[in-house]
Amino acid sequence: MLNELAAKINAAVAGANAQVLQAEDAKCESSILVEGTQIHAVCAFLKSSGSMNVLQAISGVDYVEHLEVVYLFAKFDPAAPAQLLLKVRTTDRVNGNFDTISDLFPAANFQERECYDMLGVRFNNHPDHRRILCPDDWQGYPLRKDYVTQKNYNGMEVFPEGKMNMADREFIVRQDMIKKAQEAAAGKVQ
């Protein structure tokens, strides 16, 4: 079924270069990889041809050597239900960008914002390109594999050392307190 769909996409969209990524294990799912520059045209074809009518989510994956955006499509048709994993890739970790599909599927509006927030992939012509789950002035993209949490945020320490839940740290604090108490008691006696 995926091979047929890939052939259809290639016939309809010039330069889509759709290829099926066959799952190595039979229990897993196969997907279709297309050229990143043609994603808008491919999604327009999927919608107009009726192959898929619902965009369920946009997921992003950081494979370190490339960033991958996975469009999770479904077909809500009681006669022939289906789902599709459509992928695009970019190797540019700084300025990786794709065209938005929020004009075709309004569901993509929030999903693309989330993908940008979490993975740092940009979407051209997006109507409201902001972060969605993290604060607007947060630094870094949490779901990247090389993500390091920022030390300070608006003057607050993100992981304050004194509040880390470490048993040995608590033990040291307690020893300090005991020592202090002993010194105070000795001072009183003198």
Partner 1 sequence: MMNKWDIPGSVEKPTVNKDTETLRSDLLTLNMGPQHPATHGVLRVEIKTDSEVVAAAIPHLGYLHRCMEKHCENLDYRGIIPFVDRLDYLASMSMEWTYVAAVEKMLGTEVPRRAELLRIMTVELQRIASHLMAFGTYALDLGAFTPFLYAFDEREKILRLFEEVSGARLLYNYIWIGGVWNDWDDAQLTRVSEFLDAFEPETRKYHTLVSTNKIFIERTANVGVVSVQDCLDYGATGPVLRGSGFKWDLRKNQPYGLYSEFDFDVQVGDGEHGVVGDCWNRYIVRMREVGESIKIIRQVLEKLEPGSIMGKVPKIIKLPKGEVYMRQECPRGELGIHLISEGTDSKEPYRLKVKSPCFTHTSMLPLMAPGQMVADFVATIGSIDIVLGEVDR
Please identify which residue in 55, 86, 88, 101 interacts with partner 1, judged by CB under 8 A: 55
Class of residue 63 by CB neighbours under 10 A (exposed 0-12, middle 13-18, buried 19+): exposed
What is the rounded CA–CA span in Å between residue 90 and residue 160?
36
Binding residue for partner 1, selected from 1, 23, 177, 181, defined by CB under 8 A: 23
Question: Which of 37/104 has CB closer to partner 1?
Answer: 104
Report the residue number, 15 or 106, with the smaller CB distance to partner 1.
106
Question: Applying CB under 8 A, which of residues 14, 24, 94, 137 lies at the interface with partner 1?
Answer: 24
Per-residue contact string for residues 127-166; x = within reach of partner 1 by CB under 8 A: -----xxxx------xx---x-------------------
- CA–CA gap between residue 51 and residue 43 (Å, rounded): 10
Name the residue nearer to partner 1 (CB basis): 30 or 37.
30
Smallest gap from residue 168 Cβ to partner 1 (A): 21
Q: Which stretch binds partner 1 (CB under 8 A): 79-87, 150-158, 168-176, 180-188?
A: 79-87
- Interface pick for partner 1 out of 3, 15, 66, 76 (rule CB under 8 A): 76
Question: Is 38 among the residues that bind partner 1 (CB under 8 A)?
Answer: no
Residue 12, interface with partner 1 (CB under 8 A)?
Answer: no
Exposure string for 119-151, b = 16+ CB within 10 A, e = fewer: bbbbbeebeeeeebeeeeeeeebeebeeeeeee
User: Cβ of residue 145: shortest distance to partner 1, in angstroms?
Assistant: 9
Residues binding partner 1 (CB under 8 A): 23-25, 27-29, 31, 53-57, 59, 61-62, 70, 72, 74, 76, 78, 81, 83, 85, 105-107, 109-110, 114, 118, 132-135, 142-143, 147
